């Protein structure tokens, strides 16, 4: 039987009496969140900062509020346990969720599917997909009932399908003829037109951490024909030192072009990286600028 210990509270007295640089205090706050579930006031008392000041400085440093950081830590523990094969109830309890309903109240619905289905590699999740030719080559377009969950680009149809299956190894994957499927047809058409350079509204089902979603949301607000640096995006989402994390979030984007990570470049204007290759990134930017 699993036993759950009470969250450890920080030693407010000893910590408050110590004099530390602000950066060290923020790091101490992060470590306390890793060790337990202190409230914002308890956390502020422990590191010698007022709750409002701690909230503001912590968000600027790490890109998440203390509460969001704690939620993501718990979610990360849950995701790891589920992937390692732990029993769902035990994984929820060990990650710090008092009941199954709390997992959703605390934001774990960002798994994109139920914990049981995530643990099983997407088992029970229905994903329709199709291949289509576009102006930038062959695209695999996959969608859940919530929206487009993957747009993968490449020349080899077998490799494209393999990438989808590795992402959702036990989901119910159904390849359909987009021209005949009433559900998929309008979504494939909207994506294809977007890949061809025509702006369309495309519903997406983005599965990622809170930080990744902040980055992806910021990318979708960059106007076509313009670029932003990794540093600019980091500042925009309240994490001025998070340029490297922004670049990693771009690399983890599974929805090509619709989530326009190709519009993010290095501070010196050079292209940086791109999941689907720098020649395509350059082509997309050149096409958007011309338009």
With beta carbons less than 8 A apart as the criterion, state whether 213 and 219 touch. Answer: no
DSSP conformation letters of 131-145:
EEEETTEEEEEEE-S
Q: Which residues contact 21 (CB under 8 A, 6 or more apart)?
A: none
Q: Which residues contact 182 (CB under 8 A, 6 or more apart)?
A: none
Query: What is the helix (H) or strand (E) element at residue 204, kind and residue range?
Result: none
Report the C-alpha gap between 272 and 123 in whole angstroms.
36
Task: Identify the burial level of 112 via C-beta atoms within 10 angstroms of its C-beta, where 0-12 means exposed, 13-18 middle and 19 or more buried.
Answer: middle
Q: Is 261 marked active-site?
A: yes
What region, left, alpha or beta, does residue 246 occupy, with left being phi > 0 and alpha being psi -120 to 50 degrees?
alpha
Which among 81, 95, 188, 261 is annotated as catalytic? 261
Bridge-partner residues for 173, per DSSP?
Answer: 127
Please count the residues of the chain: 291
Residue 183, phi then psi, degrees to nearest 5? -75, -50
Catalytic site residues? Answer: 261
């Amino acid at each position: 039987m699993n036993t759950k210990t009470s969250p450890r509270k920080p030693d407010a007295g000893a910590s408050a009496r110590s004099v530390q640089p602000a950066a060290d205090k923020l790091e101490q706050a992060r470590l306390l969140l890793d060790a337990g579930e202190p409230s914002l006031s308890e956390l502020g008392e422990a590191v010698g900062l007022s709750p409002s000041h701690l909230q503001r400085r912590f968000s600027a440093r790490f890109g998440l509020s203390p509460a969001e950081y704690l939620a993501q830590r718990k979610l990360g523990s849950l995701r790891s346990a589920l992937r390692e094969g732990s029993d769902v109830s035990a994984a929820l309890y060990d990650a710090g969720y008092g009941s199954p309903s709390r997992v959703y109240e605390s934001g774990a619905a960002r798994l994109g599917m139920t914990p049981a289905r995530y643990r099983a590699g997407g088992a029970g999740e229905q994903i329709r997909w199709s291949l289509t030719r576009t102006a930038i080559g062959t695209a695999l377009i996959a969608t859940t009932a919530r929206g487009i969950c993957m747009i993968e680009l490449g020349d080899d149809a077998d490799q494209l399908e393999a990438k989808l299956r590795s992402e959702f190894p036990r989901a119910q994957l159904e390849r359909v003829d987009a021209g005949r499927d009433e559900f998929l047809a309008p979504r494939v058409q909207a994506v294809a037109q977007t890949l061809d350079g025509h702006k369309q509204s495309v519903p997406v089902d983005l599965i990622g951490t809170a930080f990744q979603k902040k980055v992806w949301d910021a990318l979708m607000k960059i106007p076509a024909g313009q670029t932003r640096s990794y540093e600019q995006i980091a500042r925009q989402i309240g994490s001025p030192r998070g340029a490297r994390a922004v670049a990693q979030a771009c690399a983890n984007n599974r929805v090509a072009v619709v989530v326009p990570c190709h519009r993010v470049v290095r501070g010196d204007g050079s292209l940086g990286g791109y999941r689907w290759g720098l020649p395509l990134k350059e082509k997309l930017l050149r096409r958007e600028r011309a338009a």
